[in-house]
Structure 1
């Protein structure tokens, strides 16, 4: 009996410490309105529940309305959080990157990318941003148009043509991954790409999962898959070093060659582990969100015949200017795709990616409230994308919103903004437009599943992957 009471006393003492530590995080003066939720887990379960129901934006929009504030506090994934809403919040976040706020990544990410232990993940991201511009600025993108069109044509010929029904999302993932392998690593062999694709999907699933590293969990499978891919990349890196030394590869051939030859301000070259992890991170960032966007493009084109007709008309006008045979798209063709790009932007408005997270470098004030040092700061695109103040009838699909001067500043933010704006937005734009061009010039289509739920993991993903019936255009 004494042991029972001792155990009970210990349990009560332990729980009281947890509750005290939890509450102490929220005892700073002049915090924004909101709830700290349950000890440690906070309001995480409610956020996940709304995501499983297909409406994670409801978590953020309901609280914005409840507290009638452009900022509110909550507790998500064991972290005290301030959520900034509206155009003013976006402007503050984008204007204060690396001044008041810095990028933040969960500790478990280092298990997937072990070079992050030797060199902080944020340092790696900063260095990556210095490497990418040479490959992602407009003059570089101009050189990729023909490559993108070639890969897209090959993809649609092998995976779409002569099919009655296809499931779009996995095919879009196959397209974007193959394109990334071509541009980043000069890998063209379909068998080699397929060998990397399956474990790579496990890596992505692990990044967007509950961070529990036990056998059989998504995180554990992601760690093993990342180790497999890393071994493959080490072999590719070794061969590329040899080819560069013998003049068999070009220094500007792809991002891998550039990484092998680039050095930092101290004259140091990147280690093979850093290069492998950087390539792995690049493949992830260039893959999942663009694949989901391509799937939603098809979803809306299938649901809205008048939008499809507008896109089809524009794309066929471009296609008819090409010489008979296999003349590829060029940069001028891309600039003519104005209606198509506006339609894609409307897709990105309605289906933005997951919220980005920053950490307060020091305490700051916003909208009359204080945010303590170390708090995590979320920005959520839906707070402006679905706000009728900025976008009248926000649930209506209307590409004309982007004509003329377009939306007000800081209201349409699918790629972020400021120093942390996605460096690959031009790459993604090109990818989506060329995917759309190759799709509509070949097929008309309708949805195989009338009402398909949108899941969030944490980015929006069609539950069934957007299955469609294909109707090839007659010659």
Structure 2
């Protein structure tokens, strides 16, 4: 009996010590708090709210409504595109994410991309993106960009002559898309045949809608239409790649003529070359990225110049000084582009108010703390361009169109981010600048114009576009 009592006393002491140790550890362990926010419905989350604000023409509302609700916090949690997401807003968040690329976070793409783009079993979309980030800067070196200017001017001239001149009314968005598409196909693939280009163009519009959609692969859904469009284009691109290989072997094609030749002849660190499927997908990604974004910017430049005659007049004056310096039939040069300072400021202000991309995703490589909140490993992070572009603390009177914001040193760091930032800044930024300025030069020197739908709705799905394509009435200049 005494032995049983003694064992009970020992057990009580042991349990007390364990309880005290547990209590000490519990108190010394910090309490991790997730950012404020709601996760929405099962599976769907808040995807509909996230996408529908863009469909209704106000993509910034999803962000700003929640920032207002959870202020002063600049971060909140949600669930979109089937993922747990922390939305991070403001210049400080931009700086944190851009500075910690490949340290705490890495680029993440919606699962729709890996499902839509069938990379080979030796690769995946994330690996291929890293390869392309190393490859593209070589192709977009300053000496290469200088060669592209007259090519761009030639294509812009042709598009203006065939699709704009002699017309009373035109739909700007479709014409801008054809300009950027023809240009990308010429410089990336050396394709100029109108029939070939027309076959290509039909499928492109469905791809971007599929990428930023709920990944439901049922007939009629944007995701399903996107998959079908990718399949058609990859098949076409593989035929082009096969022919280019033959042309390179027979010296009928130049190793430096375009990015396709560059991909075919460039090996990785292990001496391996990309296979046809991966090259086709990479080319397709370049065409999608370089086609839709720049065409959206060109379209909104036309919109804002129609609404703001004083801005149009300043751009016109600058461009006509350049036009009058050229001999008949002489194309633009790199030196001409450098003179278009006010025009580029105006284009930058267009991208501030109507950014072609609303934001981008990252993935947390590790769990970490930010602004007093725990960001769990594996969660997705979304940084919002509008959270700074339309923020009065970053841009006073943000609703006012003012190109002088970009005079001198321009906006404060991490506030103006249409091309992203850090190691993941868009490698085609300078290429896009050339496309945009060549477009501005060619349209302004030929026309003035009026919008035919004064209050046309802007739909974001996922790129911004006028709901009716921005129809305008042209008033040609008589030079």
Supply the distance in 1 between the matched residues of 2:453 and 2:439 (Cα, whole angstroms). 22
Equivalent positions of 1:20-99 (< 5 A) are 29-67=32-70, 68-99=72-103
Aligned residues: 447
Match of 2:12 in 1: none
Which residue, 318, 323, 348 being the options, matches 1:345?
A: 348
Supply the distance in 2 between the matched residues of 1:261 and 1:154 (Cα, whole angstroms). 32
8 Å contact 2:54–2:460 — kept in the other structure?
yes
Supply the distance in 1 between the matched residues of 2:192 and 2:74 (Cα, whole angstroms). 48
Match of 2:471 in 1: 467
8 Å contact 2:110–2:211 — kept in the other structure?
no
Match of 1:361 in 2: 365
Deviation at 1:461? Answer: 1.5
Match of 1:105 in 2: 109
Aligned to 1:162, what secondary structure does the other structure show? Answer: coil
Aligned to 2:87, what secondary structure does the other structure show? Answer: strand
Deviation at 1:118? Answer: 4.0
Aligned to 1:126, what secondary structure does the other structure show? Answer: helix
Deviation at 1:137? Answer: 2.2
Bigger radius of gyration: 2
8 Å contact 1:110–1:117 — kept in the other structure?
no
Supply the distance in 2 between the matched residues of 1:221 and 1:434 (Cα, whole angstroms). 33
Which residue, 288, 300, 304 being the options, matches 2:304?
A: 300
For the structure 1 residues 140 and 474, does the alpha-carbon distance in structure 2 shift closer, same or farther, using more than 3 Å as the test? same
Aligned to 2:267, what secondary structure does the other structure show? Answer: coil
Which residue, 123, 141, 146 being the options, matches 2:145?
A: 141
For the structure 1 residues 216 and 75, does the alpha-carbon distance in structure 2 shift closer, same or farther, using more than 3 Å as the test? closer
Match of 2:335 in 1: 332
What is the CA deviation profile of residues 411-454 of structure 1, one whole-angstrom value per residue up to 9, with x for unaligned ones?
A: 00000000110111111111011001000000000101010111
Match of 1:423 in 2: 427
Aligned to 1:356, what secondary structure does the other structure show? Answer: strand
Match of 1:445 in 2: 449
* TM-score, scaled relative to structure 1: 0.92
For the structure 1 residues 239 and 48, does the alpha-carbon distance in structure 2 shift closer, same or farther, using more than 3 Å as the test? closer
8 Å contact 1:145–1:430 — kept in the other structure?
yes
Aligned to 2:111, what secondary structure does the other structure show? Answer: coil
Aligned to 2:192, what secondary structure does the other structure show? Answer: coil
Supply the distance in 1 between the matched residues of 2:153 and 2:96 (Cα, whole angstroms). 39
Deviation at 1:459? Answer: 2.6
Aligned to 1:226, what secondary structure does the other structure show? Answer: helix
8 Å contact 1:455–1:462 — kept in the other structure?
yes
Match of 2:318 in 1: 314
Which residue, 386, 400, 409 being the options, matches 1:405?
A: 409
8 Å contact 1:159–1:171 — kept in the other structure?
yes
Q: CA RMSD in A?
A: 1.3
Structure 1, unmatched stretches of 5+, are 1-27
Structure 2, unmatched stretches of 5+, are 1-30
Supply the distance in 2 between the matched residues of 1:277 and 1:428 (Cα, whole angstroms). 21
* TM-score, scaled relative to structure 2: 0.91
Deviation at 1:116? Answer: 6.0
Supply the distance in 2 between the matched residues of 1:350 and 1:360 (Cα, whole angstroms). 29
8 Å contact 1:169–1:292 — kept in the other structure?
yes
Q: Is 2:224 the counterpart of 1:220?
A: yes
Supply the distance in 2 between the matched residues of 1:292 and 1:52 (Cα, whole angstroms). 15
Deviation at 1:458? Answer: 2.0
